[in-house]
Structure 1
Amino acid sequence: LLLHLIVIKNTLDPVWKAFTVPLVSLCNGDVDRNIKVLCYDYDNDGGHDFIGEFQTTVTKMSHASTTEVEFDCINPKKQRKKKNYKNSGVIVLRSCKIIRDYTFLDYILGGCQLMFTVGIDFTASNGNPREPSSLHYINPLGSNEYLAAILAVGQIIQDYDTDKMFPALGFGAKLPPDWKVSHEFAINFDPTNPFCSGVEGIAQAYSSCLPHLRFYGPTNFSPIINHVARGASQALQQERAAQYFTLLIITDGVISDMDETRHAIVAAAKLPMSVIIIGVGNADFAAMEFLDGDASVLRSHTGEEAARDIVQFVPFRDFRNAPKETLAKSVLAELPQQVTQYFKQRNLSPSNQAAE
């Protein structure tokens, strides 16, 4: 028994809203299996009056994909008692479509590339990278929390991009030769080609750039979010499920441009894009939790709601003593759903026949 309850009050000619139901739940995937539909007159006291019923199949209902289909609503008791009984009403099916529910794997096999970008926090609150107390200090084992986060996430996500060339950006530091602060710079110092070869290339560029930066501030996220959003906007023009952009921001503290960041995320929610934030160190990450709209819908400072939740925040400290696979699993937990949700909202199927 499948119950789909929609009550239309105060009318003898109800019009029900469209709804979706899994084919497996409706008919166990058998489009020729009989389905009985029962219609009741709703009563507030729960004593609903039976109006009538009809039987059909998904195959018959699918005819409504091109033209309306009508079903006589029959009350068997009245049919037996009344000689000239025709029906107790007519159910008109205005539209019925079978839509394939594509999975994340369908889109990947269909040729969708995950375009991965890293954004790294080089603000002064991280500490002098030459001092062991700094979050950017590379220990004798050649690691720190920034590198650990890059490798844990990047080594998983790079397998979903064929060329494995990833932009790596920094923010919150002063750059040579004029030592002006920048919130959107290539860590390989090549603004025309900020791409690094694989996750190892990102790690190498990160380690190499540290001695050449002067950590400064403030902690502004919006420039890097908008940077990736520009690429996602171009992908949007293709009208194909060909690319989905993922920005990994690694940061140690409180966001300085919260209004601008909220605005940037709300705008990015309309694009094929997600934002992953990993918090390193022991700072208060309450603002990051706010951006991760699991508890409530994120709004821009003007009140506009995000079309969908695209932010996932994870504090690195929760995984310091765990295998890197555990961090990656938590960080990427929402990404498959965000990818499929976006393409479904835009009615985009996987790009090629590999997913069929």
Structure 2
Amino acid sequence: MAYTPGGGAPAPGVVPVGSQYCVCKVELSVSGQNLLDRDVTSKSDPFCVLFTENNGRWSEYDRTETAVNNLNPAFSKKFVLDYHFEEVQKLKFALFDQDKSSTQLEEHDFLGQFSCSLGTIVSSKKITQPLLLMNDKPAGKGLITIAAQELSDNRVITLSLVGRKLDKKDLFGKSDPFLEFYKPGGDGKWMLVHRTEVIKYTLDPVWKPFTVPLVSLCDGDVEKPIQVMCYDYDNDGGHDFIGEFQTSVSQMCEARDGIPREFECINPKKQKKKKNYKNSGIIILRSCKINRDYSFLDYILGGCQLMFTVGIDFTASNGNPLDPSSLHYINPMGTNEYLSAIWAVGQIIQDYDSDKMFPALGFGAQLPPDWKVSHEFAINFNPTNPFCSGVDGIAQAYSACLPHIRFYGPTNFSPIVNHVARFAAQATQQQTAMQYFILLIITDGVISDMEETRHAVVQASKLPMSIIIVGVGNADFAAMEFLDGDNRTLRSHTGEEAARDIVQFVPFREFRNLC
């Protein structure tokens, strides 16, 4: 049976999470204990989904990573919410056993849920409660623990770490090391703050630099002890302990570019048993930087403008726009999935652009009079002035161009990505960085020029630019998920890594009923 977070009338005074008069931001850390075991040959692979209530309807807010083969997970992914002390902000935490790569919750086994208000968690600082099934019966002996941390300090800390000569833990190989960072909790136990990625088959790992809020790492107290644990990753979840050390932010700040700080990784059991034991390797902190983390509002109030461009897929796979089965068919209500996506994204962004003039481009169509294929054409047929007045103007230009073009192919993204990147590059030459570019690409299918697109995205990742890809229809969008670097770093065909994740892919079918 498909999981539904629930419904019913909201409690008196309940208002949406994140409405006006935000007092502060709150970070929630989640862990589970004694979860139900839904897997036959191994343990459950749990992840947690947070739902918020708005006008009696529950909607997904965010979800954690998956803890492989673990009935007592401590999730490193945190939930960050706006906290309003004068409001009742209802939350629901639901845990699932991941069975497939699908984002659809009905594809996964339900492990239990817990509901409360954000105020309940904040006032208690930390709560542990039993998980319940859909019929409100206990989910076995399963418990959920939620800890709240106020993010009043906007400082962030960036750490760059490597390992050297770590202990070999794998019988026929080396080790697959990763690090976990802990801070003291209010109950005297260590609380997980961050977990690095796993580096495969090496005793000398180089982890990617990572950034966390300073208040998350040490509650803003640079002298507070921090426990760092090093493990060898195992697929079955039984990670082998390599070693540990304690430090503090003040100690870590001694590391600067060119002046690293070294920590011996100690295994206490080995230290007791072996007289000549020295260490289980060295963890080297290459650099430690503390900066201010400016919010979206800080940039907007500072005068930054969002420059919005739309790229629309006019390839033949969409179908004849006169055919009701076509994704470009405009129904009697005057809309289709392309228009719905334009409205959903454009209406939000247009408020942050003073002139509200947006370029709208098409790709994959043959254009009059010579009917050559173009992958970068103005849908208002004015190449020197492709701008449309507001989201209304984009919708009007889109509807007007449909009868005058021939849907063709292939589905090439790179020309439009490079088009916007050229303007973003020009903006970086200004004395003050006052423009940020957002490209919305709406498409129905598989990318034809994947290598060129990967290269274009990697180059664009160095610029003030982000890309939103909305997939319409029911095609296989695996390639789009690949561009969205949420789970891995995107690389070009030359091996160059993206400087940051600038692509967000959204399958429209998952949100169709909300539009």
TM class by shorter-chain length?
0.5 to 0.7
Matched with 2:302 is 110
Q: Which runs of 4+ in 1 moved over 3 A?
A: 6-10, 18-31, 35-38, 44-48, 95-99
Q: Secondary structure at the match of 1:156?
A: helix
Please, which of 322, 327, 333 is the counterpart of residue 130 of structure 1? 322
The answer for unaligned runs of 5 or more in structure 2 is 1-158, 166-208, 227-240, 257-286
Matched with 2:367 is 175
* Alignment CA distance shift 1:29-1:309 (3 Å): closer
**Could you report, residue by residue, the CA deviation over 1:134-173 in whole angstroms, capped at 9, with x for unpaired residues?**
1101001100000000001100111111111000000000
- Partners of 2:163 and 2:455 lie apart in 1 by 38
* Alignment CA distance shift 1:193-1:19 (3 Å): closer
1:289 aligned onto 2:481: yes
- Partners of 2:427 and 2:396 lie apart in 1 by 29
Query: Contact 2:363/2:377 (CA < 8 Å) preserved in 1?
Result: yes
Please, which of 346, 362, 376 is the counterpart of residue 184 of structure 1? 376
Matches for 1:137-286 after TM superposition, within 5 Å: 137-238=329-430, 240-286=432-478
* Alignment CA distance shift 1:102-1:131 (3 Å): same
- Partners of 1:110 and 1:172 lie apart in 2 by 39
- Partners of 1:103 and 1:116 lie apart in 2 by 20
- Partners of 1:262 and 1:7 lie apart in 2 by 28
* Alignment CA distance shift 1:284-1:159 (3 Å): same
- Partners of 2:244 and 2:507 lie apart in 1 by 53
1:121 aligned onto 2:313: yes
Which 10-residue stretch deviates more, 207-216 or 100-109? Answer: 100-109
Q: Secondary structure at the match of 2:362?
A: strand
Aligned sequence identity (%) = 80
- Partners of 1:284 and 1:20 lie apart in 2 by 33
* Alignment CA distance shift 1:252-1:7 (3 Å): closer
Aligned length: 274
* Alignment CA distance shift 1:30-1:213 (3 Å): same
TM-score for both structures, normalised by structure 1: 0.67
**Could you report, residue by residue, the CA deviation over 1:206-237 in whole angstroms, capped at 9, with x for unpaired residues?**
00000000111111000000000000000111
The answer for unaligned runs of 5 or more in structure 1 is 11-17, 39-43, 66-94, 325-356
Q: How big is the shift at 1:27?
A: 8.5
- Partners of 1:192 and 1:216 lie apart in 2 by 24
- Partners of 1:174 and 1:285 lie apart in 2 by 24
Query: Contact 2:218/2:224 (CA < 8 Å) preserved in 1?
Result: no
Q: How big is the shift at 1:22?
A: 5.2
Q: How big is the shift at 1:8?
A: 9.6
Query: Contact 1:298/1:305 (CA < 8 Å) preserved in 2?
Result: yes
- Partners of 1:47 and 1:192 lie apart in 2 by 62
- Partners of 1:120 and 1:206 lie apart in 2 by 9
Q: Secondary structure at the match of 1:275?
A: strand
Q: How big is the shift at 1:100?
A: 2.6
Q: Secondary structure at the match of 2:433?
A: coil
Query: Contact 1:107/1:241 (CA < 8 Å) preserved in 2?
Result: no
Q: What letter is aligned with 1:244? A: Y
Query: Contact 2:214/2:220 (CA < 8 Å) preserved in 1?
Result: yes
- Partners of 1:267 and 1:215 lie apart in 2 by 29
- Partners of 1:208 and 1:300 lie apart in 2 by 37
RMSD: 3.8
Query: Contact 2:484/2:503 (CA < 8 Å) preserved in 1?
Result: yes
Relative to total residues, which structure has the larger strand share, 1 or 2? 2
* Alignment CA distance shift 1:29-1:266 (3 Å): closer
Matched with 2:496 is 304
Matched with 2:507 is 315
* Alignment CA distance shift 1:121-1:28 (3 Å): closer
- Partners of 2:296 and 2:321 lie apart in 1 by 39
- Partners of 1:140 and 1:268 lie apart in 2 by 39
Q: Secondary structure at the match of 2:292?
A: coil
- Partners of 1:47 and 1:284 lie apart in 2 by 44
Query: Contact 2:367/2:373 (CA < 8 Å) preserved in 1?
Result: yes
Relative to total residues, which structure has the larger helix share, 1 or 2? 1
* Alignment CA distance shift 1:100-1:189 (3 Å): same
- Partners of 1:110 and 1:189 lie apart in 2 by 35
**Could you report, residue by residue, the CA deviation over 1:5-45 in whole angstroms, capped at 9, with x for unpaired residues?**
x99999xxxxxxx99885656886699xxx5789xxxxx99
Which of these two proteins has the greater Rg computed from alpha carbons? 1
Matched with 1:334 is none
TM-score for both structures, normalised by structure 2: 0.47
